[in-house]
Structure 1
């Protein structure tokens, strides 16, 4: 969200183990399920652990569709920062920017 002074504000922060995130991607209804459904469709990321070492993983043309969200969900712009760490050492960082239009 953007504050009145035009600074960004964190609305949601989550720290999770990668395998726990993969497990929760199968839960009934949550934001991770929506995101992972599309990730699995457009990537070679495994659906469960273990995740193989020394293998290149990719996500191509990730798209969140309007019908993935309830009708009352507002139009908005968002930015998601992903930091991946192994043994507490950051190994990768990614930023996803987008918007939801109604």
Structure 2
């Protein structure tokens, strides 16, 4: 019995171990095309040694037949590039299923915690989709994460027309 108690204490210590890195968002750009967007606002702020993104989106009408193309690349300190993910997906199917990529799951979980309302398909017109002070919590990630820079690119198309382009650049730095 004492072996199990010892393993439990060790696992609690590993899970609660302080992270020696932080995620910093350096640049966010969002572009929209076509006539579907009624309102789009976003901001990136640095506050208390953390990067926060807030945004709101109001569509003129419901969005059906959505395709999301997204990639995330990471460059370590030796400038070696690693592709963390590359996906072409129907976000409606993605929202209904658990994704297999662990990093995408961590990223999505963090994003959904800061989204007002439930993301469901179709995306509704005249509904204010809001993201409040989103950040990447280091405690959601493994205790070791390499330092370097990252870039996430996302293109969203509706009815085969490019509707949104989102680019997020940042870095993993020493805390």
Fold match (TM-score > 0.5): yes
2:87 aligns with 14
**Which of these residues, 61, 73, 80, is aligned with residue 145 of structure 2?**
73
- Mark the CA change 1:45 to 1:20 in structure 2 (over 3 Å): closer, same or farther: farther
What is the Cα deviation at residue 86 of structure 1?
0.4
Does the 8 Å contact 1:66/1:101 carry over to 2?
Answer: no
- Structure having greater relative contact order (Cα 8 Å, sep ≥ 6): 2
TM-score, structure 2 as length reference: 0.45
Select the structure that is richer in strand.
2
Q: 38, 43, 60: which one pairs with 2:110? A: 38
Alignment: residue pair count: 98
| Conservation of the 8 A alpha-carbon contact between 1:76 and 1:100 | yes
Larger radius of gyration: 2
TM-score (norm 1): 0.70
Q: Which runs of 5+ in 1 are unaligned?
A: none
Task: Return the offset for 1:45.
Answer: 5.8
Aligned match of 2:49: none
CA pair 13-27 structure 1, distance change in 2 beyond 3 A: closer
Structure 2 unaligned residues grouped into runs of 5+: 1-73
Deviations 1:27-62 (A, max 9, x none): 587222212222222223633333213434233432
Equivalent pair of 1:85/1:91 in contact (CA under 8 Å): yes
